């Protein structure tokens, strides 16, 4: 793969009930990304937006943000899915030789619709949807399957929540920074056994944008480029009954391919910091395993060991992760933006000292049916 860099990033603060509309929110992120890169819109060759018609409550939701994302006068397109996939499409367009720079943006105002109903619409309309499944109830099934298979405890899941909400205190963009204990998580209201309120991610509104550039065009940007070393994604079966809920093969497959592209053979030793899509606390433990940070079934022991804490050998989610700000299709793109900040050494109080290789991860679908893994380096 030829060298492509992330040369600019922009994020809004993530919070509930933002008063800006879709375009205003999106513009805040794209403007920040341009200013961050020290370039103007005229330097952007094409645009990839990220929308979801269900969350936005309109069809062709990308219409609302076309202007705000910089589409006027240039080739533009739109991905519906996690922001890691739109960034992947942006990377492919940049690699095609047709465009030298690509603006990738994502926005979501989860608070304007009914998220439980919207996630319910991802279930098969003629089978599971009628059973009223949603993100929490389906994830609870997955959590139970995973915990039972490998002897993971509720306390170990709670530790993820304590770590990430605690890390969020260092991130000015995070929605829910909290100073909590394992006991607080365990005593929070049970939503769907074994998932408790503090094991879940919040309903957040927000936007994020990143700018990709070929090596030649990256030289014109003000920032030190962060290079994309490997990217891959992969999908599992649709129906929960057809999947191994306790182990994500597509994650391992995507990770291995991304590592191969990046020349990484020992991920836990070679990766300095990771931003993963922890929509629920148990997920982060499962992703440790799929990403090869530990052996299968060892996710609980890894969190117990402190390796993934700030100050550990492989800090995971210094930003506070998705548990602390969940603006759905924005969340994966935010993971990339956070990885870029780490590699530039500009992550402020959440900086992992000397980070040289970072991983960003996004998921899509019910119980993370699809995974996308990014490896970046400075």
Work out how close the CB of 16 gets to another protein at its nearest, in angstroms, rounded to a whole number: 12
The strand ranges marked E within the chain are 4-11, 46-50, 75-79, 101-109, 190-192, 195-196, 205-214, 226-235, 273-275, 357-364, 370-377
The answer to whether 262 and 185 have CB atoms below 8 angstroms apart is: no
Cis, peptide link before residue 194, omega less than 30° from 0: yes
Is 364 a residue that touches another protein (CB under 8 A)? yes
Pull the structure tokens for residue 288.
């440790």
Q: Residue 301: phi, psi to the nearest 5?
A: -65, -30
Among residues 66, 180, 186, 191, which is the contact residue for another protein, using CB under 8 A? 66
Is 377 a residue that touches another protein (CB under 8 A)? no
Pull the structure tokens for residue 289.
């395993």
The residue (of 249 and 268) whose beta carbon lies closer to another protein is 249
Among residues 3, 13, 16, 89, which is the contact residue for another protein, using CB under 8 A? 89
**Chain position carrying tokens 């094991």:** 199
Burial class (CB in 10 A: 0-12, 13-18, 19+), 126: exposed
How many other C-beta atoms can be found within 10 angstroms of the C-beta atom of residue 58? 12
Is 71 a residue that touches another protein (CB under 8 A)? yes
Work out how close the CB of 305 gets to another protein at its nearest, in angstroms, rounded to a whole number: 31
Among residues 67, 179, 244, 295, which is the contact residue for another protein, using CB under 8 A? 67
Q: Name which of 145, 371, 92, 89 is nearest 253 in CA terms.
A: 371
Work out how close the CB of 44 gets to another protein at its nearest, in angstroms, rounded to a whole number: 9
The residue (of 165 and 233) whose beta carbon lies closer to another protein is 233
The interface with another protein within residues 206-235 (CB under 8 A) comprises: 232-235
Is 80 a residue that touches another protein (CB under 8 A)? yes
Is 62 a residue that touches another protein (CB under 8 A)? yes
Is 92 a residue that touches another protein (CB under 8 A)? yes
Among residues 137, 188, 249, 378, which is the contact residue for another protein, using CB under 8 A? 249
Among residues 63, 141, 182, 191, which is the contact residue for another protein, using CB under 8 A? 63
The residue (of 27 and 351) whose beta carbon lies closer to another protein is 27
Is 370 a residue that touches another protein (CB under 8 A)? yes
CA 120: distance to chain centroid?
21
Is 77 a residue that touches another protein (CB under 8 A)? yes
The interface with another protein within residues 28-57 (CB under 8 A) comprises: 31, 34, 40-41, 47, 52-54, 57
Is 354 a residue that touches another protein (CB under 8 A)? no
The answer to whether 84 and 365 have CB atoms below 8 angstroms apart is: no
Is 131 a residue that touches another protein (CB under 8 A)? no
With H, G, I as helix, E, B as strand and everything else as coil, classify residue 170.
helix
Q: Give the whole-angstrom CA distance, residue 341 versus residue 114.
A: 33
Q: Give the whole-angstrom CA distance, residue 273 versus residue 205.
A: 25
Among residues 7, 11, 12, 18, which is the contact residue for another protein, using CB under 8 A? 18
Among residues 183, 237, 260, 306, which is the contact residue for another protein, using CB under 8 A? 237
Is 189 a residue that touches another protein (CB under 8 A)? no
């Amino acid at each position: 793969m030829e060298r492509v860099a992330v040369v600019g990033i922009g994020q809004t603060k993530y919070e509930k009930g933002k008063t800006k509309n879709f375009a205003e929110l999106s513009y805040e992120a794209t403007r920040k990304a341009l200013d961050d890169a020290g370039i103007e819109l005229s330097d952007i060759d094409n645009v990839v937006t990220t929308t979801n018609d269900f969350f936005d409550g309109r069809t062709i939701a990308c219409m609302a943000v076309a202007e705000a994302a910089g589409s006027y006068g240039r080739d533009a397109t739109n991905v519906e899915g996690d922001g890691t996939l739109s960034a992947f499409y942006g990377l492919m367009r940049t690699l095609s030789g047709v465009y030298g720079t690509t603006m990738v943006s994502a926005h979501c105002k989860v608070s304007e619709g009914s998220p439980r109903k919207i996630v319910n619409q991802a279930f098969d309309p003629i089978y599971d949807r009628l059973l009223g499944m949603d993100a929490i109830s389906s994830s609870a099934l997955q959590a139970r399957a995973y915990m039972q298979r490998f002897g993971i405890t509720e306390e170990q899941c709670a530790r993820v929540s304590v770590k990430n909400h605690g890390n969020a205190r260092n991130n000015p963009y995070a929605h829910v920074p909290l100073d909590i204990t394992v006991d607080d998580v365990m005593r929070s209201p049970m939503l769907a056994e074994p998932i408790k309120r503090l094991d879940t991610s919040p309903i957040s509104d927000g936007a994020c944008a990143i700018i990709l550039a070929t090596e030649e065009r990256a030289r014109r940007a003000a920032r030190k480029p962060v290079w994309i070393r490997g990217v891959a994604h992969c999908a599992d079966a649709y129906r929960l009954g057809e999947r191994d809920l306790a182990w994500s093969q597509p994650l391992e497959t995507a990770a291995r391919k991304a590592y191969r592209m990046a020349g990484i053979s020992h991920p836990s030793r070679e990766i300095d910091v990771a931003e993963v899509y922890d929509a629920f606390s148990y997920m982060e433990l499962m992703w440790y395993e799929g990403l090869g940070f530990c052996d299968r079934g060892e996710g609980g022991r890894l969190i117990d060991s402190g390796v993934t804490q700030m100050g550990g050998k492989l800090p995971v989610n210094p930003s506070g992760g998705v548990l602390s700000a969940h603006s759905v299709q924005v969340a994966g793109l935010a993971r990339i933006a956070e990885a870029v900040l780490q590699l530039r050494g500009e992550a402020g109080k959440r900086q992992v000292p000397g980070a040289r290789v970072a991983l960003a991860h996004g998921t899509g679908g019910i119980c993370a049916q699809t995974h996308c893994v990014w490896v970046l380096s400075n």
